[in-house]
Chains A and B, each alone.
Chain A
């Protein structure tokens, strides 16, 4: 896909910081969190100290089996919950301290598809991404419409604008949700299991698109996933979680070790190094072994 980058990044151009390639965009520093039913009771789930740093144009994959703390870490990054200790900073500002409006101008979240109560046109849905920039009743101005249209074009969905969300396929819906995130003109895009309801072709397409968008629009992208193969192929950095503990942070090649992954995901697998220095993961059936 070769859409020209007409997508203006108004708030942070290249001129401000000449060496912005080197500066840290997202800084997660010894952040931890604990869920508990009440203030006095023992926490039911804790996320231990987690640290990593990432720059613009980078894709970070938060990887781990179910109940490993992936979504909690994502919410800490999104700033909807404040860390118990440590800090989560976006360009030097703590994300949980930003007011909701400013936060929405800087951080976009792509959830798994959410059921709509009333049918909306895909175009209007994308336009919702302009909400944090509007005032009062937020009638869309020409600029908003232009930005929303470009956002749809960037995900290859111009033709979807006039269709209702309900009649789109899983892949098309995911593209429209991504377009709404782009219309927010964020610095940081967070995705929560974005490939969950997609077939394999659409999964690869989505991640290719994310990599391209991160390059063109200088986003930082954080993806929560348990797809080992996709993370290895597309992530610049992997954060590996298990039972609320951060086990490893690093490049896929550094994190993907056979014994470690077998233990974390509780499945026999092989890891080999692919041509571009990226690891490949192959699942093995437990033939003849004990299933204990």
Chain B
């Protein structure tokens, strides 16, 4: 083609603007942007205005063009594309589908209300002391109704035994009431954790908005996103990944580590940014020009690869989390110089030599678990860090990033925090990958104790792990000559 022949006379193309979108369409786009925000996609007013300005340029009756115009203006990253696509399909569905979705949502809400009502009535009927109902909150009654039948029977049996007897009178009621309340609160927390773990699209804030149509849309988008296996594994609590999905999860960890390694390896090149003149080299170079500083020499920033030191809790349920962190970290081996790894439960063990043989990770982990005396025991971080400071203090350098994987629950936490403070003074950063959900941090005092001397991150999913590593594995720089 001759390019000149194709030149459009109006290169900017905005001279004959068609009229803007109709008020109904504009309202729909604004509402759609609101849905995206509710689903966690940041959409600003400026972007909504862009979308409205874009629509007159495309054929809005052509679904592909309409979708592409909204995607180009409202979405600003690949991470939000899956949510956008699911939201678009749900929001701009045909009327029949929308009506059906609304009906289903209403039916679900009615069923939920009915279940809640009957559950609370059962709690009021069953949980009594000498015929008087206990004073329980609605949440405690809900926890009772959600319990298994044998557990409910046990609780009724306890109340029955506590309220009968020769010396039992009404004065005992507050004591019994407190015991029952405590039990129900614990059940509620367990149920909440269970829900968090099994709810696959945990990245979505699924709290109801009160608008039935909106809630139906959100539920529909969540259903669509659940179909993505990678999304599911990224957002599922590592401790709850089923055995059948373990192989997929390990593969995903390797992919994530590989992607991150490829990205950050570029940043370890020596930077060419020119900031400070190197006077000595400039003066030396100027001799050939009769003393005139004709060519300026600059100092370069040398970029050093970070050193990583892993200290992983392998007591009981923590072992599973630590395994994934170790696999991720060794996937980064080619961009992180020298990974030192330790596992601990009651004391510390160095496991670096196992990983230096460059064998298959699964085999290596098998050897580590078989030979370790720490695997699956109780937790004493204080003893572990003391051992570390006595035997391995030499591996700490100002370029080291220390990564600790633990739920912070340990014996002698105050002493462990003091040890951590000592380590913090020798290294570039201490990252604490805390496997406890953030919602439980306030009620776990050890979290605050360790957070004083480390950067504490919630890390109980592969998505968390990827984000944290990506954020913190930036190269350290130091002035050097080049």
Decide whether A and B are members of one complex.
Answer: no
- Residues of B whose CB lies within 8 Å of any CB of A are none
Q: Taking beta carbons and an 8 Å cutoff, which residues of A are in contact with B?
A: none
